[in-house]
Structure 1
Amino acid sequence: MNIRFAKDKDLKKVKDMWKYCFDDTEGFLKYYFENKYNCKNTLVIEDNNTIISSLQLNQYKLVLNNRIYDTSYIVGVSTFPEARGKGAMKVLMKSALNEIYKKGQFISILMPIDYRLYRRFGYEHCYDQIEYTIPIEILKDFKVKGDFKRAYLEDISNLISIYSSYLKDKNGYVFRDRYYFENLFKEINSEGGYIYIYKGKDGFDGYMIYFKMDKDFFVREIAYKNVDALKSILGFIYNHNTQFNKVIISSIIDDKIKYLISNLKNIDMKIKPFMMGRIINFEKFIKSLDLDVYVDFNLKVEDEFINQNNKVFNINVQSGKIQVLETDGVEDLIIDINSLSQLVFSYVDVEDVLFLRKIKVKNEYALNDFKKLFTKKINYINEYV
């Protein structure tokens, strides 16, 4: 097997592989390969001079612990059926992890089809969403107080403002700028969706992204600055009651809709696993943190795929100065890369990992120091490719 970055001439093969492996519409395929696909971010495996497997490293900026990190979002992991079971995915993923490391990036994300496939490469569950299924008649008491209009490119500055306000105290979300929203419009249009923006008494306060499915009104994303905007969004949805019997809404885990529904027994709420994350460069990530603590301990990280992480590190923080150095000293704590990734993404805290017996503790004082590095936060991400 030979692994390399794709060339322009490989586009048809990569696209055919995607079409075989994923159930996407022609409209979405056209959007993706004209707007998102980049051969310079695509790894392929050749066997006997024929491409048999590929993936893409789509580039995003992620807001984690109030800092913006460049990150690679692994998508399109695919193999032609005749090549499956020969170890291509392992070769592909190991190469991808090391390419991301060489890019100088500290973290990575992916949306799994099957969690078991990616846990063995160090990715771990780091994001949830809440999904509501609501009979539309339940929303009959909600009224639109302001005005809705379909959003266009000239509304991007207001969309950015609403999105930023909605997520100002959240973690792990994608930094969205004008270029991002220009692409988002193309993506939503490719699948026949809609973006509507709401204007209340104080200006533009909310937006929603939705699709009219065969039988359901599906809301992929909502964002709002205040309760009036949220109530008006629900009223807007109710105004489709002659077309649809129910609405499905995906949202952030601490979304406020559940506080507004009069009888929760009549709706369905479920937590939906959404995204996995992975630490790529442990040393540099820790150095990037803003820490006002005093710690000094040795941590052994177990990482089968990135050798630079698979070491014992001395972590020393004094007066805001952070040192992370490889050491031959005896480890105080031992942790695997999966659990460490969940801590880095603030999806769990050290107490959670300790409860799950994912930390081997040799020094209780070091455990207290380790707890100072990580806090649990509310994560949100809603990117599909």
Structure 2
Amino acid sequence: MIDKQQVVDLWQECFNDSEAFVRLYFSTKYTEENTLVHIENGKVLSALQMLPYSMTCWGRELRISYISGASTWPEARGRGLMKDLLTEAFRVMRSRDVHFSTLIPAESWLFDFYRRLGYGTVFHSCMKNYEVTPIKKYPLSHSYSEEELYAYFMISMEKRPCCIQHSFQDFQIILADLYLAGGKVFAVSGDRGHIGGLALVVPDSGKVWIKEWMYDNDEMKKKLLFEIESLYPRHEIVSIIPVSHEEGTPFGMMRIIDASMILQYYAAAYPEIDMTISLRDEQIPSNTATYILEKGFCKKKPFQCDNVGFIFSPAKLVERIFSNKSCPVPCMSLMLN
């Protein structure tokens, strides 16, 4: 049995989060079955959580494990404890039939650390500023329940071709976190009073950050911006949007957990691909193999490094997959990061 309070204490030591957020997280997202810890002499020295999500990609729904709260006490760092915990996490994920693992590094130097453990940078973003267009005729919006907001949110998110999805419970926690930060939900009406646009925003230091938004058309977008500017006049309106690796800066990372299954899905989505890949995976040895992608199928053979087109690490392979011009830009948002 894990001493939850010790995990809380470690979190508070390593992350600059408010007491209110910590209470919210550990009362809603934390479960012992999704937590791994390293203990010495009764003390939790290192911990992480593996939070389950789904991701729509290639017309499928894939199982995702998001790494949250990866932390080690300062005096225990440099001993490889987190590397060992993540390696164990990959074993647990394989046993749960997880396809990918994702994470958002807390600091820039951690991109290199996670890359050595197989994570590639596939989520990129850029900041965009918005100006408000005056609206001559603007009907008042209705008041919507959380269920109605989520129904619109879910439909909009599922339309994105490569996107990590959130359950209704996730959505409720996201809203609770938003309100803790002084944020607000904007919902504008479209046809027949139904929601036509939704935005989750947080004001901070003269700016209004759009954490996530979706809208049916450009008119709904203008309505959202008009409402935001009306409540926060003279604030700069900024959103962080997902973009391709050529256009943005690194934001989040992904690791392949089940290479055989992922490459089969990839081959089926792009049957024109004809290539041979040799993958060497030190943390998940069962992934180490040579994969032949041809005519929409993937064949797995024993690893060989001679006469093959490409030899990949897990990080290079996932980056190669999502840098394919035909592959949609991956989107990950509202992860309580």
Q: Residues of 2 paired with 1:271 and 1:287: CA distance?
A: 29
Instruction: Give the equivalent residue in structure 2 for 1:277.
Output: 254
Q: What amino acid does structure 2 have at the position aligned with 1:84?
A: R
Instruction: Give the equivalent residue in structure 1 for 2:289.
Output: 311
Q: How does 1:236-385 map to 2 (within 5 A)?
A: 236-242=227-233, 244-253=234-243, 271-289=248-266, 290-291=268-269, 293=271, 298-317=276-295, 322-327=297-302, 330-333=306-309, 334-344=311-321, 346=322, 348-349=323-324, 375-385=326-336
Cα deviation, 1:243-272, whole Å, max 9, x if unaligned, reads x43222223439xxxxxxxxxxxxxxx934
Instruction: Give the equivalent residue in structure 2 for 1:183.
Output: 173
Residue 41, structure 1, aligned to residue 34, structure 2: yes
Shift of residue 212 of structure 1?
2.5
Q: For 1:86, which of 79, 88, 95 is the aligned residue?
A: 79
Instruction: Give the equivalent residue in structure 1 for 2:145.
Output: 152
Of 94-103 and 104-113, the range deviating more from structure 2: 94-103
Of 324-333 and 58-67, the range deviating more from structure 2: 324-333
Shift of residue 60 of structure 1?
0.3
Q: Residues of 2 paired with 1:32 and 1:143: CA distance?
A: 43
Return the index of the structure with the highest Cα Rg: 1
Q: What amino acid does structure 1 have at the position aligned with 2:202?
A: F
Instruction: Give the equivalent residue in structure 2 for 1:121.
Output: 117
Give yes or no for contact 1:133–1:249 (8 Å, CA) kept in 2.
yes
Unmatched segments (≥5 aa) in structure 2: none
Q: Residues of 2 paired with 1:224 and 1:181: CA distance?
A: 17
Q: Number of matched residues? A: 327
Other structure's SS at 1:70 match: strand
Q: Residues of 1 paired with 2:291 and 2:185: CA distance?
A: 48
Q: Residues of 1 paired with 2:312 and 2:269: CA distance?
A: 21
Cα 1:313–1:190 change in 2 (3 A) is: same
Cα 1:125–1:40 change in 2 (3 A) is: same
Shift of residue 103 of structure 1?
1.6
Instruction: Give the equivalent residue in structure 2 for 1:372.
Output: none
Give yes or no for contact 2:278–2:303 (8 Å, CA) kept in 1.
no
Residue 131, structure 1, aligned to residue 127, structure 2: yes
Shift of residue 280 of structure 1?
0.9
Q: For 2:215, which of 224, 227, 230 is the aligned residue?
A: 224
Q: TM-score, normalised by structure 1?
A: 0.77
Cα 1:105–1:246 change in 2 (3 A) is: same
Shift of residue 236 of structure 1?
1.3
Q: Residues of 1 paired with 2:87 and 2:117: CA distance?
A: 8
Q: Residues of 1 paired with 2:74 and 2:16: CA distance?
A: 15
Other structure's SS at 2:78 match: coil
Other structure's SS at 1:232 match: helix
Give yes or no for contact 1:148–1:196 (8 Å, CA) kept in 2.
no
Give yes or no for contact 1:162–1:205 (8 Å, CA) kept in 2.
no
Other structure's SS at 1:303 match: coil
Give yes or no for contact 1:61–1:174 (8 Å, CA) kept in 2.
yes
Q: Residues of 1 paired with 2:38 and 2:203: CA distance?
A: 39
Shift of residue 287 of structure 1?
2.9
**Percent identity (aligned):** 23
Shift of residue 174 of structure 1?
1.9
Unmatched segments (≥5 aa) in structure 1: 1-6, 255-269, 351-374
